[in-house]
Amino acid sequence: MPVHTIRDLPSDNNNNNNNNPSSGGGRSLGGGGGRSLGGGRSLGNGSSNSNNNNNASSSSGRVLSSGEAVSYQPSSANYAGGAADNGGSSSGGGSMFGGMFSRLGGMFSQGSGSTAGGGSYSATGQPVDVESQNRPTDPYQQQYDMNEDMFWSYNLHGITPQWYHTCLMCCCPCFVGPPCSPTRKQDYKNMLKTFCFWISIVQIIYFIVEVSVGGIDSSNPSIGPSSSTLLLLGAKSAYKIKKEYQLWRLFTPLIMHAGFLHLFMNLFVQVMICMGYEKTWKWYRVLPIYIIAGVGGNLLSCVALPDSVSVGASGAIMGLIGAKVANIIIRWKKIPTQPKIMQCISVGFIIVITLLWSFSDYVDYAGHLGGLMCGFIIGFACFAITEVSDRIYKWTIFAMSVGLTFVIYLTLSLVFGLVTTVSA
């Protein structure tokens, strides 16, 4: 049975080895395809000439069984173009025997090797990311990679995930991982560029004004000011809009809230969900959807609930969720299957829960429905421009979306102005 040997050759070797070319100054030990490792050291395959056969028995080299992987680190690092220290790696670049050495590497090792420079290569010569192969699978990272609507970056790199990270990823991912890491700092910078963040700041400031003016009314279940205070500061009032032409009351409710609980719930959805939408949609899509849906919700509220005093950004937020449905429909063939399923389940769950809650006491269901409907329709116009490649199809969707939104606005306005009866 043939054997493989590793030995040190004397510098004054026999003449029958002087003619053997070597890129590293070494002499090949095998006439059957030895691989020169440089510096006078050579790796044979057991099929050398007679002179070398006689010296094989007296050599101090280690005898390897056939097929055993060879790992040898010479004392002098003089490989051409970067030496290889593993049997499956290729020797230096630029040598005329480089390709032959790469192929012979597979004879000595079936696995992957590593170069002196730190790179790793498979038996076929392809680079291998050893760290990614050895790194344990992280379910949080997989969920984050599939969720395009997650605003906050995954911040557990190098940290073993704990059970409480599951809760934080669902309710407040900004607290996952080191809060001052470079990744998280970049998230804070990106947050300052979003419309959702700044409209949330405006809503908090305006709520402070509400409490400062009217205080806390004990009869308000949301822990906030009285309805008279809200009416004074710009709440939706069908009577004042119709009889006193205070049309600005269709807009001001978007930055007003009835109490602490109302503000907290809206800001939570606005920051956790809508800010994630804005990450990919950008502010110039979120802004028109937010306003159009919010005003549309207030218009429907004036028609369906003319005697109620309403405030809140819920209609605008529902408009962004409706626009997400339009976004999924427009990009249906572009979204991979698993992320598509996740998005459909997520959006469907939010819509069902919100609509069920909308018909409870002290909640303006008409504002929610109107915002959802207007956001869904105008969303096609916002996304068709960039997501649809066919020019005719693109502008047809855009025109139909804008036209239908205008028809809804006109219809609600006419019904409110001509049919709806309001009282002071």
- Please give the backbone phi and psi of residue 340, each rounded to the nearest 5 degrees, phi first: -65, -45
Cα 234 from Cα 254, distance rounded (Å): 10
Q: Tell me the three state secondary structure of residue 183.
A: helix
Using DSSP bridges, classify how beta strands 120-121 and 113-114 pair: parallel, antiparallel or unpaired.
antiparallel
Q: Which one from 314, 389, 401, 413 is the annotated catalytic residue?
A: 314
Please give the Cα distance from 108 to 193 (Å, whole number): 57
Instruction: Note if 227 is an active site residue.
Output: no
Nearest Cα neighbor of 401 from 414, 389, 388 is: 388
* Catalytic residue chosen out of the listed positions 36, 109, 368, 401: 368
* Residue ranges with strand state E in 16-89: 35-38, 41-43, 62-64
Residues in the chain, overall count = 424
Q: What is the DSSP string of 385-397?
A: HHH---HHHHHHH
Name the H helices within 282-390.
Answer: 283-304, 314-330, 337-358, 365-387
* DSSP letter string, 193-206: T-HHHHHHHHHHHH
Q: Supply 259's token pair.
A: 């109490």
The span from the CA of 139 to the CA of 291, in Å, is: 37
Rounded CA separation 328/330 (Å)? 6
Residue identified by tokens 């700044």 is 198
d(CA 121, CA 103): 13
Of 259, 351, 361, give the one whose Cα is nearest residue 311.
259
* DSSP-derived secondary structure letter, 152: S
Provide φ and ψ at 263, rounded to 5°: -65, -45
| Among 5, 416, 410, residue whose Cα is nearest residue 242 | 416
Q: Is 262 a catalytic residue?
A: no
Residues catalogued as catalytic: 314, 368
